[in-house]
Amino acid sequence: MSDVPIKKLEPKIRQGLVVILTGNGKGKTTSALGMALRACGHRQRTIIVQFMKGDLYSGEWDGVELLAPLVTLHHTGKGFCGIEGNPYPHSEHRANAQEALLLVEDILRRDQCDLLILDEINNALQLALVDLEQVKALLALRPPHMHLVLTGRDAHPELVAMADTVSEVREIKHAYRRHIEPQPGIDF
């Protein structure tokens, strides 16, 4: 450990932010999980709602349990809609996404956390599992102090305009393109 004293910053005004993590590169969910880890270090409560994931195991499910009770995760989806091999029809994916919206609405109304991550909601919107007006209504329900993070490709321009911070993750190179299978701890 360094002998340099560590300062803690404290904003004059605490304000919740709307953050969008989008783009075609790998790392949007990972970045959001990093925010959850950081919030945990400040003893802030984080809730993660995954809109698309749910049919294949991902390490964050068990990893988040190690951060409990400050971080909780709800995987509400049935996998990625329209991806080859996913057996569920669009109507089932939409029904699950609509249930996830009700969960998120309840979390917002009850002001249950400091950071709320809506993982893959941009994809859910792009695939018509949720509607733009529904997502905009969630943003309107957000308590002023709560941070809200929306992840997934193809963020809607209206949501981008409403956000405080938008980051685009761009693929430059991916192991998958070299026929390397997804690796535990890196890809899932």
The count of C-alpha atoms lying within 13 angstroms of the C-alpha of 183, restricted to the half-sphere facing its C-beta, is 8
Domain boundaries, given as residue ranges, for the chain: 18-170
State which fold the 18-170 domain adopts. Answer: Rossmann fold (3.40.50)
pLDDT tens series, the chain, 188 aa = 678 888 888 889 999 999 999 999 999 999 999 999 999 999 999 999 999 887 778 889 999 999 999 999 999 987 787 776 778 899 999 999 999 999 999 999 999 999 999 999 999 999 999 999 999 999 999 999 999 999 999 999 999 999 999 999 999 999 988 999 989 888 88
* pLDDT at position 1: 61
Cα distance between residue 26 and residue 42, in whole Å? 27
* pLDDT at position 17: 98
Cα distance between residue 15 and residue 17, in whole Å? 6
Handedness of CA 43, 44, 45, 51 (dihedral sign): negative
